[in-house]
Amino acid sequence: MTLWLCLRVPELALEVFQRAGGDDDARVVAEGGTVSAANRPARRAGVAPGQRVSAARALVPRLLCHERDPAAEARALRQLAAWSLQFTPVVSPQRPDALLLEIGGSLRYFGGLERLRTTIADGVAGLGYRPLTSLAPTPTAAWLLARAGDTTAATTQTESDAALTQLPVAVLALEQPRHHEELTGLGCETLGDVLALPRDGLARRFGHTLLRQLDRAHGRHADPRHPWQPPPRYRAEITLPRESGDRELIARGLERLLGELCGYLSGLGRGVQRLELRLHHVPRGASTARVGLLAPSRDAAHLLTLARERLERLALSGPVQSLTLLAGDLQPLAPESPALLPGAREETPWHGLVERLSTRLGEETVNGLHTRSEHRPERAWHYVAPGRGGGTPAPNPARPLWLLDPPRALTVSAETPAWHGPLTLHDGPERIESGWWDGQDVARDYYVASNPGGERLWVYRERGHARGWFLHGLFA
């Protein structure tokens, strides 16, 4: 079954400025000095679209006014399109404020129509928008229903046709704005009235756009939609409701961005391992926070925890106006499996702790260790990123977990080295002679030893001129 869902955000022009918070502030969007959209607090105070901004400010002296930003609206629509890919691969933006999703093939996977529809609407609301959804067998019909604010679930062409006939002619996208008035002058108030007129006369007077639109809506004409393709690198932006250094407000904006990202990652079947957050200041400049993960993730709560840790330690050079989130190193990630038993949950993996420590203390302060092919013990290891391997070490004799840097000279009595008492030598000697090529050559005989207290030690005797004894390591 082919079924299209139109996801429309009627107040997108306004919500791009307030979806990170700030719903309690009276706020409007203006075009050319005239209010084009007003939020609920502003409307309660008497502000309405069509008013001059000066008149609106007389009603609400502390009114927040934004000039309409079509570019920001287009970005927001693209970000919603990326988020929507988790529900269907066929997503088609319908500017200025809607998306078309072909969901017929997704119904069974998401538990049926009503559950999927609710999941989509709730998810969009969680991103800071107030959506409405309409359903029809053709994309044009779903879009026309959404433009009229009709949320009927018309799942068959018969139901869709009946719903379309009741829509006002104002929902049609016509070649000329005056065509709406001309249709009204002909006595057409609904699409049903338009359909009752002779087709030839409609084509001559209004062009073929009108008839083609109606035929597509009613399934009489092909209505192809090209699936939207996301850009190769993920980038998303959000404007804060006001310029601020309030980290809680910034974190709320970040939470919206991460919600969008994780929806996108779910659609790709991938997780992210590197995040970059840019905080754009007023009047200029930006602060940057980076987060690295040991393993790919699309857990929005976990990513937010790490990002907040980094954000708390970031020095801001001024008030923040907007945020940009960049995601890199997207890796395949298996879908999450439900727990076998109700209430069961997996233990937090060790790398979750390491990620939090790295975020809190700085990536350069938390490292892993790995051996490398080198005979000199003090050079036989190196730092690696936590969780990253450094190759398979060659088999070696037993080595202590802890090396002393530098080795500690031992006292010698009657040719017997001592450390908290005389040492008993057990295994050895293991002769190591290496490093002549880099000027750091060593010539040593190593032994495993113990003292009267039972400590197991790794000691060596210098060969050559300085034949002293040294403690180099401690066994656990």
Give the pLDDT of the chain (476 residues) as one tens digit per residue.
899 999 999 999 999 999 998 678 999 999 999 999 999 999 999 999 999 999 999 999 999 999 999 999 999 999 999 999 999 999 999 999 999 999 999 999 999 999 999 999 999 999 999 999 999 999 999 999 999 999 989 999 999 999 999 999 999 999 888 999 999 999 999 999 999 999 999 999 998 999 999 999 999 999 999 999 999 999 999 999 999 999 999 999 999 999 999 999 999 999 999 999 999 998 889 999 999 888 899 999 999 999 999 999 899 999 999 999 999 889 998 665 444 444 444 444 656 666 666 666 666 677 777 778 788 888 787 777 776 655 555 556 678 888 998 999 999 998 899 999 999 999 889 999 987 888 788 999 999 999 999 999 999 999 876 679 999 999 97
Asked if residue 275 belongs to a domain, the reply is yes
Asked if residue 405 belongs to a domain, the reply is yes
Same domain, 204 and 321: no
Asked if residue 366 belongs to a domain, the reply is no
Q: What per-residue confidence (pLDDT) applies to 438?
A: 82
Same domain, 81 and 61: no
Same domain, 296 and 411: no
Neighbours of 186 (CB within 10 A): 15
Same domain, 264 and 309: yes
Same domain, 181 and 258: no
- Alpha helices in 292-342, H assignment, sequence order: 300-312
Same domain, 34 and 140: no
Same domain, 258 and 293: yes
Asked if residue 341 belongs to a domain, the reply is no
Give the residue numbers spanning the domain of 286: 234-334+349-361
Same domain, 61 and 82: no
Neighbours of 312 (CB within 10 A): 12
- Sign of the dihedral through C-alpha 297, 301, 304, 306: negative
Which of 31, 46, 68 is the last residue before a domain boundary? 68
Residue 178 in tokens: 């005056």
Q: What per-residue confidence (pLDDT) applies to 341?
A: 43
Asked if residue 6 belongs to a domain, the reply is no
Q: What per-residue confidence (pLDDT) applies to 346?
A: 43
Q: What per-residue confidence (pLDDT) applies to 353?
A: 66
Which of 8, 34, 68 is the last residue before a domain boundary? 68
Nearest to 96 by CA among 216, 9, 176: 9
Whole-angstrom distance, CA of residue 222 vs CA of residue 337? 40
Same domain, 83 and 190: yes
Q: What per-residue confidence (pLDDT) applies to 227?
A: 95
Domain of 290: which CATH number? 3.30.1490.100
Q: Edge-to-edge strand order for the sheet containing 34-38?
A: 34-38, 27-31, 64-67
Instruction: Please state the pTM of the whole predicted model.
Output: 0.77
Residue 135 in tokens: 């359903």
Asked if residue 8 belongs to a domain, the reply is no
Asked if residue 132 belongs to a domain, the reply is yes
Whole-angstrom distance, CA of residue 204 vs CA of residue 239? 46
Number of structural domains (the chain) is 4
Asked if residue 367 belongs to a domain, the reply is no
Same domain, 46 and 136: no
Same domain, 76 and 56: no
How far CA 228 is from CA of 41, 54, 99, 269, in Å, comes to 36, 41, 10, 17
Query: What secondary structure letter does DSSP report for 335?
Result: P
Same domain, 57 and 75: no
Do the strands 64-67 and 27-31 form a parallel or antiparallel pair, or are they unpaired? parallel
Give yes or no for a contact between 31 and 49, defined as CB atoms under 8 angstroms apart. no
